[in-house]
Amino acid sequence: MLLERQTQLEQLDGLLAEAARGRGRVAALAGEAGAGKSALVEAFLAGVADGTRILRSACEDLSIPDPLGPLYDLAREAQWAMPRAIDDRQGGRLPLFSDALAVFETKARPTLLVIEDLHWADDATLDFVRFLGRRIANTHILLLLTARTDRSEGQMRVRRALGEIPSGGIARIEVPLLSEAAVLSLAKAAGRDGAAIYRATAGNAFFVTELLSAESETALPASVRDAVVARAERLSPGARSMLDAVSVFPRRADAWALTGLCGVASAGQLAECVSNGLLDDLGDGYAFRHEIARHAVEMMLTTSHRRAFNQRALSALLDKGGAPIARLVHHAVEAHNLEAVRQFAPIAAREASRLGAHRDAAGYCEVALRHADALPRDERAALYEQYAFECHLIARIDEAIGAQEQARALRQALGDTLKEGDSLRWLSRLAYLQGDRQAADRFGAEAVALLETVPPSAELAMAYSNLSQLAMLAERLDETLALGARAIELAERLDRPDVLCHALNNVGASEQWLDLASSRLHLSRSLEIALEGNFQEHAARAFTNSACGEMNQLCYAEAQTFLDRGIDYCVENDLATWRDYMRGVRAQLLLRQGLWNDAAAEALEVITNDQATPLVRYPALVALVKLRLRRGDPAAAPLLAEMTRFLERGTELQRLLAYAAILAEQAWIGEAEKAEALRLIDLAASLAPAPAVFAELASWRMLLVPDSDPGDTTGMAAPYRLLLAGNWRDAASAWADLGAPYERALALAQGDEPAQREALEILEALGARPVAQHVRDIMRRNGVIRIARGPRQTTRANGAGLTQRQMEVLQLIERGFSNKRIAEHLTISPKTVDHHVSAVLGKLDAVSRGQATAAARDSGLL
């Protein structure tokens, strides 16, 4: 009987009952290793009513995960020919996942899907969980997951994947350690010292079980590992050898495989392992009772024994045939069989990439490259190219650049001009993603120069499009259009729709300043081609540039639509780089709409992602720096310094525009040097290809130098044009129509006394206290009297506008939780907690946690 698990069992029963009524959910059981998650699953399954279809699977602790391994398990149990479905869908994940959903959903009865040990999952499996979680609400499916709560990279990826499932579609269920009372109860029944066992185990269920089974009552093992090893040492030599053989198989060892390892497997030796509580008899195979125990026994093997057992396992799998490629690579690596690694790792990499498990594909490439010296140079070059491609997809840009440089050197040595030119084009792209604009320009020009020495090719068309993209990003419109036209002509002639949609994107993005209708047409066609051809990265870029174009035109509803569609598309296709870039843009849109707390939360999701490159972080930095500066938050300083460092690696107009606007705003309220702000504004003006590009900075220049010439306002959006013409009233009205309260307040601040008083109200409501104070100073200089001083602290606390997550953090602060305990309680990273605590203190105008809770109590928040 399980102790202290009744609440969890009742929750699971309720969720399954809901699924039976057509309201499916994801149930995520989380607890530390050995807490009893698997035992809880077994107890739940034992009580499931007849008529429920149960399909079980688990992830394995392989050196590199098996792509979609759990889904293959579920498919076998459902008698679904998944390999054939993969071939029919040509490796497309979304169609495959849709097929899986159709197989698992049977309205006649509920389906219980179980995936254990999700912390060992590959990226493609996490994508399937995310896919199903976003569609499960109207099904008869309960997806039951188990995962550890450690701080491993795998668990952090699980946390991110589950975080992208709608909150109403997932139930998180904690599996806590056993209480002292429960341990005392178990120990009493076994006639053991419960207090000593609790002190040793802290309530870890597996450790408790091991100690209760230990022979010695006086000297308790110091760790789970010691307890398992002590139990293993009680076995006969033959049974111990059998246990060692089983230990090299993650998850389970099939009976036929053990025969290959040990000859005719002795039923008596295996029975001895089972009777001693070390193995479970699964009927057609054997498994350790817990992965902790397997790992402990495996780690006791000498290097030579471990390699020998793994070589025998590899031979048995090859003799049997049909083994997953991931298992072959795992045993080849553990056996140190370099020939097998070179044979199977590249195949595994291609298969993982085909299924969208790009992190695992990169891992297989790494394994293959460690032992690739014996391969021909062209095969090594191809491996480096694939490794670079996979690394770039998972935002490991430094490794991608290193691999692509190796590939280029090999192609150069082979005299392969076409491939060398393509390597240079890739280096240009990777350098840009890393934030090195100068290197991007250099590599891009070298690629075109080299590829123009050989007959016209798709590689040359893409190199032209790459230079067109770089020109577009720098707002060099004529150059963008000329290079884009070359790329389009060549792509159409060679029938390369992937290159065509890339080039159309560049042209459409530049045309927003020249011909808006043509811009939208070209961007729409680019997106259509990308979606139809499943060119995922091109589709993400089309969503991004379409959204940014609409933002620049102040068409916020259209921008919102593109951002929402684009982010959903990236989530579904595991395009983390483009997802985070668009989240930063969406944070800027939320800021413009006056939804400052939502903007901060959106931006923080990107800023706290350690994998995000400087380029990807930049839009989120823009939003968060503006927000913090307007609220007087000193935490803006390090983020602004990061923006400064980014620009030092190459001045690009679209980045410069945002940076100069921030410095101009600081200078206006007296927190930055006016001369430096004006210098940057003049620099941007010299680079702007059309007046419309410069509209926001022209407005800031007029605020800094009121008598300055507004210049040519042709093509500028209406609010900017009106403001530069001195018509603050209509400009404020235009901003109001657009739903942009802060910009409306800035326009009103340039008006008469009633308008300035209205501006103050808006700024105070937004929490822009330093800006509000500057407006008061302007009013005083103009002789205005009886100016409101702003709300008292308690009023500010009431109107603090804490997000739901920040309220949760505040409540835990009030309970005395440390940042580490808050992170564990909310299953978020400690760095994210640091940002939330900083935001709570800033919004409550508090300098300490104690002041924050006191202000919250005074205002009724707590």
Count Cβ atoms within 10 A of the Cβ of residue 276 and give its class: 0-12 exposed, 13-18 middle, 19 or more buried.
middle
Distance CA 60, CA 728 (A): 65
Question: Which of the four pLDDT bands, split at 50, 70 and 90, describes residue 860?
Answer: low
Q: Which of 141-150, 691-700, 793-802 has the lowest mean pLDDT?
A: 793-802
pLDDT tens, residue by residue, 348-400: 999 998 887 888 999 999 999 998 888 899 999 999 999 999 998 888 889 99
Give the residue with greater pLDDT, 41 vs 823. 41
Distance CA 418, CA 383 (A): 17
Distance CA 100, CA 121 (A): 18
DSSP one-letter code for 81: -
Distance CA 815, CA 862 (A): 11
Asked whether residue 455 carries a pLDDT value surpassing 90, the answer given is yes
Residue 846 is predicted with a pLDDT of: 72
Q: Is residue 806 within 8 Å of residue 836, measured between CB atoms?
A: yes
Q: What is the dihedral of CA 617, 622, 623, 629, to 10 degrees?
A: 130
Residue 192 is predicted with a pLDDT of: 85
Asked whether residue 857 carries a pLDDT value surpassing 80, the answer given is no
- Quote the tokens at residue 342: 């070179």
Per the listing, tokens 């602290």 go with 793
Asked whether residue 28 carries a pLDDT value surpassing 50, the answer given is yes
Distance CA 180, CA 194 (A): 8
Whole-structure pTM value: 0.78
Per the listing, tokens 């949609």 go with 501
pLDDT tens, residue by residue, 599-642: 998 999 899 887 788 889 999 999 999 999 999 888 889 999 99
Distance CA 666, CA 644 (A): 15
Residue 844 is predicted with a pLDDT of: 81
C-alpha 86 chain-centroid distance: 25
Residue 234 is predicted with a pLDDT of: 87
Asked whether residue 795 carries a pLDDT value surpassing 50, the answer given is no
Q: Is residue 94 within 8 Å of residue 572, measured between CB atoms?
A: yes
Distance CA 481, CA 702 (A): 32
C-alpha distances out from residue 817 to 179, 221, 803, 820, Å: 20, 32, 19, 8
What lies within 8 Å, CB to CB, of 350 at 6+ separation is 361, 386
Distance CA 331, CA 782 (A): 80
Taking residues 159-165, what's their average pLDDT? Answer: 87
Residue 91 is predicted with a pLDDT of: 64
Residue 265 is predicted with a pLDDT of: 56
What lies within 8 Å, CB to CB, of 808 at 6+ separation is 826
Helix axes 614-631, 417-433, angle to 10 degrees: 10
